[in-house]
Structure formats: C-alpha cells, structure tokens
Amino acid sequence: MPEYTRLIHNYLRHDKKFPHVWCPGCGNGILLGSLIRAIDKTKFSKDEIVLVSGIGCSGRLPVYVDFNTLHTTHGRALTYATGVKLANPSLNVIAIMGDGDSMAIGGNHFIHAARRNIDITAIILNNSIYGMTGGQYSPTTPYGMRASTAVYNSIEQAFKISELAVTAGAVFVGRQTVYNAKLLDTLIERAILKKGFSVVEVITHCHTQYGRQNKLGSAVDMLKWQRDNAVPVDKAAKMSPEELEGKIITGVLVDKDLPVYEEEYEKVRARAKGLA
Amino acid sequence: MSKGKQPLLLQGNEAIVEGAIAAGCRFFAGYPITPATEIAEGMSVKMPIVDGTFVQMEDEIGSMGAIIGASLTGVKAMTATSGPGFSLMQENLGFACITEVPCVVVNVMRGGPSTGLPTNPAQGDIMQSRWGTHGDHPIIVLCPHSVEECFYVTIKAFNLSERYRVPVILTTDEVTAHMREKITLPDPETLEIIDRVRPNVPPDWYIPYEDNSIGVPPMSAFGDGYRYHVTGLVHDVRGFPTSRPDEVDAFIRRLHRKIDKGLSYIQEGEYFLMDDAEVAVIAYSSVARSAKQAALLAREKGLKVGVFRPITLWPFMRQAVEDILKNVRAVIVPEMNMGQYSREVKRVDQGYARIVTLNRVDGQVITPDDILRKLKEVY
C-alpha cells in the first residue's frame, strides 16, 4: 500500500460525509496533509491526540480526522485547549486557528497561552483575510491591500504573528509556507514534540477572497508567490530591513526552554500537601 | 475537604468551595471579580490538595472555555463570577448547552447593569441566567439562601449537570456569598454524588449523540478511546455538523425533552408556613430570609402568611406556583430588581390570585419590615 493510502485510511474519518468545505486549490488541505504526516511521525496514538479549533475555514479542519476533535467558538480554541491539557496532561493537544481567529477575537487568549507555557501546539493558518465570511480584512491583511470591508484599501498595519508569539513568550516558534509542504511537515513535527507552548505560523493563500479582490491570480500563482518570497531565517539574518520588505521569513524563529505549566503545577500540588 | 463533625463558621462562598470539592469537582478556572473572588481563592488553595487543578485565566471567556475543555476529559469542572464576568461567559455557556458538556457556573449577583454596584447585593441576573446565551436552549439555575444550603445546592448543581449533561448555574447574591453562618460539614460517605454515564459499548459502536429513553447520551472522555467530534454547530447523532431539518429538529427537541422529563427531580422548593396561608410570599436567595422573618412577624399579628422559596429558579416551577396561586388570595414577590421572577409568576396566573411586586433597586437588602409593610397593605 502506498504511504499516502495508508495515511488516508488511518487518519481520515470514514463516517464523515466528504467532500470537505474548502475551495478547490485552498491551502488548508495542504496543511491538513502536513499535520497528518507530522503526527504520524511522532508516533502518538490517535487516542492521545486532541485537535481543537475555533471558527472559520480553519475551524472545519478537525472534523475530517480521526482524533478526539473539538470545534469550539470563535477565537477561544486555546482556552478550551488549556482546560483539556491541564485536566489530562497525558493528552497531546493541538490547536488549529486562523489569523482572525487567533489574532483578533482570540488575540488575548493567544498571548496569555504563550506566556503561561502550557504544553500545547498552536498552528495558525494565516491567509491574510476572513475567508469564510466573504473576504473582510483581518489583523494580518497588509497595509494598502483590498478587502470587502476595505474596498478603499486597508489603512491598518498587519500583525506579525510569529514575532508576536516570540515576544509573548512561546518557547518554540516557526513559520512556513504551504508551498514548502515538506518543510512544513518537519516544522509541525518539531512543534508537537516540543515541551511547552509552541507556535507554527502557516502562510497560506485565499485565492477565492484575498487573491480575487487583490488581483493576485489563481491558487497556483499565489503558491508561486510564496515560493519566490520565502526567505529562510538564516539567510534573512544577513539581509537589510529594506531587502526583507514584503518577504516571508521562514524556519524556526525561537527554540528555548522555560518551565512548563503542568510540571510546575505538580510542584504546586506537592507544596499544597506540605510535601515540598 | 475539611472532615469531621466540628462545626465551622463559613461564608457562602467558602461553603460553595467545600460543596464543589465534596461533589467531586477537580478543575476550576476563574478570574477575580467581586463579590465572587473568595471562591477562586478557596479553589486555588484546595484544588492542588485534592489532586485537582486551579488555573487563573485571562478573562471570564477563557474561564468558561477552560472548564468545558476540562469536562470533556471526564473531570468535573466549575467557574465562579459575578455580573460582568457572567455576561462574558454567555457565548461559551451556549457551547456547553449545545455540546451537552456538564459544568457548573457560579454567579454571585451584584448590582448592575455594567460595573454597577460591585459590593452590593442584587437579583438582576435572573433573566440573564435563563436567556443570557443566544439561541433556544434549556438550562438549570439553582439558588441557595443560606451558607449551609450553599454547600448542598452546589452538590446538587454538579449532580444535575452530570445527570442531564447540561451547564448548571448556581446563582447567589452578595449577601449569601459573604454572610457567615455555622455549618457542620457532613461525612462525605453520606452524600449522594452522581457521575455522568460513560459509554459501555466498544468504541466502534459508540454513537455520541444518540437518543435514548432519558434523552441523555452516555459521554466518553477524551483519551478513553472513543474518538468523536464535538462541535458548536448543530450536529447529527454522530456529532458531525448537519443542517438537515429532520436532524436539527430532533436534536433541539431532545435537548429540551431531557430537562422536561426530569422536572420532578430537578425542581426543588421550600414551603414555609404555607399549609394554611392566605397570602404567600414567593422569594429566593437572601430575600427569602427576610420573607420568612416577615411571615413569622405577620403570624404574631394574626395574619396567615406563608413563604414559598424556589431553590430551582429555572426551569420555572410552574406547577408549584400555580398550586399556590389557586390556594391563596394574594402573592407578594419581593425582588432586588424591577421585577424578573414576578413576571413568570404573573405569566402563569390565570386570575387565581392577586400578584403584588415589591422591588428594591438601591443596592440594599429587602428587609423583613419592607415585606411586612407590604403584607399589611395586601392582606
């Protein structure tokens, strides 16, 4: 049996009525493939994985895969993930969010989850737009770009998700494009295996909304743009800010160790019982 | 949990902590807010001792999300708040309703709207506790009126949430929360503790939202091998999103039916001097204490007054209230709001009795004298 057939049979839900909700050419499916390959490499059993999502196109991802799956409210995925992980630390918790989901309505939960350093993997699909609701500008829509609520172009500055995650205290932060799916596989695998709060920012395209409104071409054109503008982090270190304008810095931005919440809480339990 | 028969002098908020631990609560997520903070403080001290978990979240939205997540792993979970925080919890409270995740939310009522009167009692959240989250949903709201009852009603809140797979709101007010009374905690073995029913079929056979005679499907915990999908979208029996009218209708009706069928178990009230009462006072939480005292004072003057005190505020105790309305000349409904529970009493009145409201919204408790004065007017 070819490898992809084995993965499909093992990880996709047979009783879920396909097809999925995403547009043909969407990058969400590429991320789903990467995620499955990464989880398969980690050797965690399906029972040990809890996949949590919020609302939006990204929020629909967990329903297709055969894990413990939890499709929560808009922006709140990390709060549910926090409860799941702290109540049963033996579970491996992965939260899938979009850019609006994690940075706008869920921005506060995101920075506090990063600060708290619970062992959760946060994967953010950043397509620079609210896709499901029809292409409104999001916190990551670049200045000057068009959206259905910014037909005179966006006048807001965009969040840099990964840089925000680093500042908020995440112990592992990486960014990759869906074009570089192989690199995305290994990045996600590392993030899952990392103890503590880890973030993977996935640069993807929404040709249906963002691409159409900004005349960026087809899904293939937008994938080529990712290929041509991704700069690995070590190469970016040698470039000037002007040269990096409009580029996507990819790779691991931070990988450090800090006390993990669940392990610290075990010490709290010991102190509370007068044992330490 | 403190053991033995030694009487304790506890606040209502502290008794809620003890009740939660006795009920088996092992996860608490919260955010500081007056006048509910003592519950979070108590849980932060006691959860680690009983191998439970306390986490202080970034806001009440997060607290609500965290307790739902915890409950999905099979752990009994609670949060506690007051008006502004309770408003923030409403969205995720609806998620617990539609996904049928057991959890307990304590709302210590203070004056509102908005920041209102943080250190004063009120009863302005009666309708919010029923209809705060959007959409058509059943909910259970319980209301103790003493420190001892804070303990027992907290246990009841957990038991009902586990039995019916619903969020249960335990609503108190600033007076009940901060008042200190003597309480003797019972031997834990004497308490009836209900745990959610878990599936006993092999995982392949598990249909997570399948209807049954009680309308409450068994609930598996994440990690137990029953991998299933939990979503805030309306879902079919397998948990997958659906908009098929027949599936949607059956789902929403089941949510209501499971509560309707349990009314006799869910609804509880206290009848005080009601046997021969000609005028009744219907009151809840701290106001019920004043009502009882007023009834005693009225009886001294020869007025046959009784008190009915609903402990279950929602679902509304329609049958009990109707029976009272048929047997008395008049009913007084004193409330620390402009009339919320009284609207329900009026709604079920078919001209049986005269209904008089007594409203106090100055941040002060309704006193026995306030009620007695009204009783003399009405009698």
Complex ipTM: 0.97
Selected residue with higher pLDDT from B227 and B2: B227
- Partners of residue B78 on adjacent β-strands: B28, B104
Q: Which of A67, A83, A88 sits opposite B227 (nearest CB)?
A: A67
Buried b (16+ CB within 10 A) or exposed e, B5-35: eeebebbbbbbbbbbbbbbbbbbbbbbebbb
Q: How large is the average pLDDT for residues A54-77? A: 97
**pLDDT tier, A266 (very low <50, low <70, confident <90, very high otherwise):** very high
Across the interface, whether the CB atoms of B224 and A16 are under 8 A apart is answered no
Could you read off the pLDDT of B150-203 as tens digits, one per residue?
A: 999 999 999 999 999 999 999 999 999 999 999 999 999 999 999 999 999 999
Question: Mean pLDDT over all residues of chain B?
Answer: 97
Across the interface, whether the CB atoms of A68 and B55 are under 8 A apart is answered no
Q: How large is the average pLDDT for residues A152-176? A: 98
pLDDT of residue A205: 98
- Evaluate whether B79 touches B43 at the Cβ level (below 8 Å): no
Report strand pairing: B76-82 vs B103-111.
Answer: parallel
What is the CATH architecture assignment of A3-272?
Answer: 3-Layer(aba) Sandwich (3.40)
| Structure token pair of residue B235 | 């879902």
Query: What is residue B215's three-state secondary structure?
Result: coil
| Structure token pair of residue B326 | 């048929």
How far is Cα of residue B278 from the mean position of the Cα atoms in its chain?
30
Across the interface, whether the CB atoms of A83 and B70 are under 8 A apart is answered yes
How far is Cα of residue B106 from the mean position of the Cα atoms in its chain?
7
**pLDDT tier, A165 (very low <50, low <70, confident <90, very high otherwise):** very high
In chain B, the DSSP E strands lie at 7-11, 25-30, 53-56, 76-82, 103-111, 117-121, 140-142, 167-173, 180-184, 229-231, 269-272, 279-282, 305-310, 312-314, 330-335, 354-359
Across the interface, whether the CB atoms of B95 and A73 are under 8 A apart is answered yes
Could you read off the pLDDT of B358-367 as tens digits, one per residue?
A: 999 999 999 9
| Structure token pair of residue A233 | 């982090």
Task: Give dist(CA B182, CA B149) in Å, integer.
Answer: 11
> With 90 as the cut, is the pLDDT of residue B211 above it?
yes
Across the interface, whether the CB atoms of A87 and B57 are under 8 A apart is answered no
Neighbours of A5 (CB within 10 A): 9
Query: What is residue A103's three-state secondary structure?
Result: helix
Q: How large is the average pLDDT for residues A16-44? A: 95
Could you read off the pLDDT of A234-244 as tens digits, one per residue?
A: 999 999 999 99
Across the interface, whether the CB atoms of A76 and B65 are under 8 A apart is answered yes
- Evaluate whether A139 touches A106 at the Cβ level (below 8 Å): no
**pLDDT tier, A67 (very low <50, low <70, confident <90, very high otherwise):** very high
Kindly list the residues from chain B whose CB atom is less than 8 angstroms away from the CB atom of residue A87. Answer: 26-27, 53, 69-71, 73-75, 77
| Structure token pair of residue B35 | 């006048």
**pLDDT tier, B124 (very low <50, low <70, confident <90, very high otherwise):** very high
Percentage of residues in chain B with pLDDT exceeding 90?
98
Determine the distance in angstroms separating the CA of B255 from the nearest CA of chain A, rounded to an integer.
19
> With 90 as the cut, is the pLDDT of residue B6 above it?
no
Could you read off the pLDDT of A215-226 as tens digits, one per residue?
A: 999 999 999 999
- Partners of residue B110 on adjacent β-strands: B121
Task: Give dist(CA B209, CA B195) in Å, integer.
Answer: 18
Domains and CATH numbers, chain B: 7-190 (3.40.50.970), 270-378 (3.40.50.920)
Task: Give dist(CA A272, CA A252) in Å, integer.
Answer: 38
Q: How large is the average pLDDT for residues B103-114? A: 97
> With 60 as the cut, is the pLDDT of residue B315 above it?
yes
> With 70 as the cut, is the pLDDT of residue B3 above it?
no
Burial class (CB in 10 A: 0-12, 13-18, 19+), B114: exposed
Query: What is residue B272's three-state secondary structure?
Result: strand
Question: A267-276, B125-134, B149-158: which range is least confident on average?
Answer: A267-276
- What is the radius of gyration, based on Cα positions, of chain B? 21
**pLDDT tier, A245 (very low <50, low <70, confident <90, very high otherwise):** very high
| Structure token pair of residue A118 | 């619970």
What length does chain A have? 276
> With 60 as the cut, is the pLDDT of residue B272 above it?
yes
pLDDT of residue B4: 56
| Structure token pair of residue B50 | 């009983």
Kindly list the residues from chain A whose CB atom is less than 8 angstroms away from the CB atom of residue B232. Answer: 71-73
Between helix A77-87 and helix B60-72 the angle, nearest 10°, is 50
- Evaluate whether A251 touches A176 at the Cβ level (below 8 Å): yes
> With 70 as the cut, is the pLDDT of residue B2 above it?
no
> With 70 as the cut, is the pLDDT of residue B312 above it?
yes
Could you read off the pLDDT of B36-84 as tens digits, one per residue?
A: 999 999 999 999 999 999 999 999 999 999 999 999 999 999 999 999 9
Query: What is residue B185's three-state secondary structure?
Result: coil
| Structure token pair of residue B211 | 């209807």
pLDDT of residue B5: 75
The domains of chain A are located at 3-272
Residue at B125: amino acid letter: D
Q: How large is the average pLDDT for residues A46-60? A: 98
Determine the distance in angstroms separating the CA of A78 from the nearest CA of chain B, rounded to an integer.
8
Could you read off the pLDDT of B317-329 as tens digits, one per residue?
A: 999 999 999 999 9
> With 70 as the cut, is the pLDDT of residue A136 above it?
yes
> With 90 as the cut, is the pLDDT of residue B122 above it?
yes
- Partners of residue A249 on adjacent β-strands: A231
Torsion-angle region of residue B282: left (phi > 0), alpha (psi -120 to 50) or beta?
beta
pLDDT of residue A16: 79
Tokens 């007084």 correspond to B332
Task: Give dist(CA B218, CA B200) in Å, integer.
Answer: 8
Task: Give dist(CA A129, CA A91) in Å, integer.
Answer: 32
Selected residue with higher pLDDT from A257 and A14: A257
Task: Give dist(CA A157, CA A164) in Å, integer.
Answer: 14
Q: Which of A63, A88, A108 sits opposite B73 (nearest CB)?
A: A88
Q: Which residues of A touch B (CB under 8 A)?
A: 13, 15-17, 46-48, 50, 52, 62-63, 66-73, 76, 78-88, 90-91, 108-109, 112, 265, 268-269, 271-273
Percentage of residues in chain A with pLDDT exceeding 90?
97
Query: What is residue A77's three-state secondary structure?
Result: helix
pLDDT of residue B317: 98
- Evaluate whether B335 touches B374 at the Cβ level (below 8 Å): no
> With 90 as the cut, is the pLDDT of residue A14 above it?
no
Q: Which of A47, A85, A109 sits opposite B62 (nearest CB)?
A: A109
Q: Which residue of B has its CA nearest to A115?
A: B58
Q: How large is the average pLDDT for residues A152-178? A: 98
pLDDT of residue B34: 96
In A78-146, the DSSP E strands lie at 92-98, 120-126, 129-130, 136-137
pLDDT of residue A43: 95
> With 90 as the cut, is the pLDDT of residue B341 above it?
yes
**pLDDT tier, A40 (very low <50, low <70, confident <90, very high otherwise):** very high
CB within 8 A of B379, min separation 6: which ones?
Answer: B278, B279, B298, B303, B305, B330
Kindly list the residues from chain A whose CB atom is less than 8 angstroms away from the CB atom of residue B233. Answer: 71
Tokens 């009230």 correspond to B269
pLDDT of residue A15: 83
Determine the distance in angstroms separating the CA of A86 from the nearest CA of chain B, rounded to an integer.
7
